[in-house]
Amino acid sequence: MKLFQRLALGAAFFTIAVAGALAAPAATHNNAPNQFVEADGVRYAYRHFGAQTGVPVILLQHFRGNMDYWDPAVTDGLAKQRPVYLFDNAGVGLSSGETPDSFEGMADHVAAFARARGLKQVDVLGFSIGGMVAQEVALRHPHLVRRLILAGTSPRGGVAGNDPRVPEIALRESIATLEETAYLFFDPAPSSQLAAREFWERRHQRQEGLDKLNSMKVIAAQGAALGKWNTPGDGTFSQLSKIGQPTLVVNGSKDIMVLTQNSYTLQQHIPNARLLIYPNSGHGALFQYADDFVTQANAFLD
């Protein structure tokens, strides 16, 4: 009799534990904790949430950005179907170490982070300079990357923009306001400016465990890397032919930060690339059209 009572009691505790686990809310963009992993003397900050199975996707952020600058509509949308990793490269945000002054160096840090987390194969979504780093990850560590999404970015030696307000806003010490973000990342069209305000609200929903703003030292290193990347080449873009991974290139029709024509160049020279251009939109087209982008990105990654 006592044996049956002990078995029943054990089953009850097991049922309660399982029910509690099932009831626990899944982590999302707004509540995923900051985590850290160390490799080669660098302590990388990251957030991990989403599905428990599938190929993980690592998201690489834009100039001056950190984990808080992603759009929850995008990150949570991707997380419904796959594990998502937001990541601060060396020296950026909450990560330690020195920020490299080249995208090759930043790419090696992405690979080091993946190894430290035990990730054998990943998909990579790179936005803006994150897309430049992503290209180098694919070239330098081809066995790590399965598929590639390049958003609002350019090839090495691509065409640089000439709007004087872009560096004026991007390189100063203070962070961009809503109005400045709307100017840099969105089109003047009313629909795009409305999307800018909606994106701004979503981006600031997270209240706990915020990332650390980047120092001017980090910004200078990223700027130096961008300067090297934008040095005119021979016009052949031959390095792109070596990217063997299936690639989705995404941009807005009127990107003033990284000119839209660079996206056409990427698609034309990467052997297995498709192109997605959104209308009446700028650099942040993936945020303006977040729902459609997530649908397209998930279909491509699947």
Q: Which string of DSSP letters, residue by residue, matches 204-266?
A: T---SSPPPPPPHHHHHHHHHHHHHHTS---S--GGGGG--S-EEEEEETT-TTTTTHHHHHH
Q: What CATH code is carried by the domain that includes residue 64?
A: 3.40.50.1820
- Reported as a pLDDT band with limits 50, 70 and 90, residue 1 is very low
- Say whether pLDDT at 3 is over 60: no
Please report the pLDDT score of residue 15 as a whole number.
47
195-212 pLDDT tens trace: 999 999 999 999 999 999
Query: What's this model's pTM, rounded to 2 decimal places?
Result: 0.91
- Reported as a pLDDT band with limits 50, 70 and 90, residue 7 is very low
Please report the pLDDT score of residue 6 as a whole number.
53
Percentage of residues of the chain with pLDDT beyond 70: 92
- Structural domains in the chain (count): 1
Does some domain include residue 115?
yes
Does some domain include residue 197?
yes
- Say whether pLDDT at 301 is over 70: yes
Q: How many CB atoms lie within 10 A of CB 96?
A: 15
Does some domain include residue 2?
no
Residue 84, classed as helix, strand or coil, is: strand
**137, 148, 139: which is closest to 113 by C-alpha?**
137
* Beta bridge pairs of residue 45: 36
Please report the pLDDT score of residue 12 as a whole number.
47
For 240, the domain range is 26-301
Please identify which residue in the block is written with the tokens 């031959």: 238
Q: Report whether 67 contacts 61 (CB < 8 A).
A: yes
Does some domain include residue 6?
no
Q: Report whether 102 contacts 135 (CB < 8 A).
A: no
**16, 14, 43, 272: which is closest to 147 by C-alpha?**
272
Parallel/antiparallel/unpaired status of strands 145-151 and 122-127: parallel
209-261 pLDDT tens trace: 999 999 999 999 999 999 999 999 888 999 999 999 999 999 999 999 999 99
**121, 115, 108, 55: which is closest to 297 by C-alpha?**
55
171-180 pLDDT tens trace: 988 889 999 9
- Say whether pLDDT at 111 is over 50: yes
Give the Cα separation of 203 and 201 in Å (integer): 5
Does some domain include residue 7?
no
